[in-house]
Amino acid sequence: MNKLKIFDPAMCCSTGVCGPGVDPDLTRIASAVYSLEKRGVDVTRYNLANDPSEFIENEKVNHLLNEKGADVLPVTILNGEIVKESSYPSNEELSSWLQIDTSELKDKPQTRVEIDINL
């Protein structure tokens, strides 16, 4: 079973809409990750701002950070090996690593119906 980990730089939200400008690459990777999860791939994202401990505990990432600094993020690890650094994997790369067709990487999460809280 494949195991994919993505170590994000420190950021506010995973789609990047909170930044000074929207980064379309962040929206793409958010969708791709969601699609992978839906197809049962074990995939986890770690945001430096929320989960800094993961960036210490993972030796490979920690080593890379100490060697090259923060610019090395985002880092992608597939089954314990670093497969990509300094940018997010493309849909084609994800597709070939995980044997999933690129057309299947464009799912979007369902949003829930709004809940009205009565106080």
Partner 1 sequence: MYKTFKPKENVHTPFLFFTGKGGVGKTSTACATAVALADQGGKVLLVSTDPASNLQDVFNVELTSEPVEIPSVKNLFASNIDPEEAARVYREKTIDPYRNKLPDSVVNQMEEQLSGACTVEIAAFDEFSHLLADDNILNQYDHVLFDTAPTGHTLRLLSLPTAWTGFLDEGTHGASCLGPLSGLGDKRDMYRKAVQSLSDREKTTLMLIARPEESSLIEANRASQELRNIGVQNQMLVINGLLQSHMQDDKVSIAFYERQQYALNKLPEELKQLKTLSLPYVSYSLTGIDNLRKLVSNNPFVETKEVSNNTEPIQLSKLNDLVDDFTSRNTRVIFTMGKGGVGKTSIASAIAVGLTEKGQKVHLTTTDPAAHLDYIFKDNDKKENLTISSVNPEKEVEKYKQEVLEQAGKDQDEEGLAYLKEDLESPCTEEIAVFRAFAEVVEKSENEIVVIDTAPTGHTLLLLDSTEAYHKEMSRSTGDIPESVKKLLPRLRNPEETDVVIVTLAEATPVIEAARLQEDLKRAQIDPKWWVINQSLYGTDTKDPVLNGRAVAEKQWIKKVKEELSDRCALIPWMKEEKIGYHNLKEMINA
Question: Is the distance from CB of 44 to CB of 37 less than 8 angstroms?
Answer: no
Residue 29 near partner 1 by CB under 8 A: no
Output the CA torsion 117→19→65→52 (10° steps): -20
Looking at 11, 77, 78, 100, which residue binds partner 1 (CB under 8 A)? Answer: 11
Whose Cβ is closer to partner 1: residue 99's or residue 115's?
115
Question: Is the distance from CB of 20 to CB of 102 less than 8 angstroms?
Answer: no
Question: Is the distance from CB of 33 to CB of 6 less than 8 angstroms?
Answer: yes
Looking at 4, 6, 29, 30, which residue binds partner 1 (CB under 8 A)? Answer: 30
Residue 27 near partner 1 by CB under 8 A: yes
CB 25, min distance to partner 1, A: 6
Dihedral sign for Cα atoms in the order 8, 67, 77, 97: positive
CB 35, min distance to partner 1, A: 11
CB 69, min distance to partner 1, A: 4
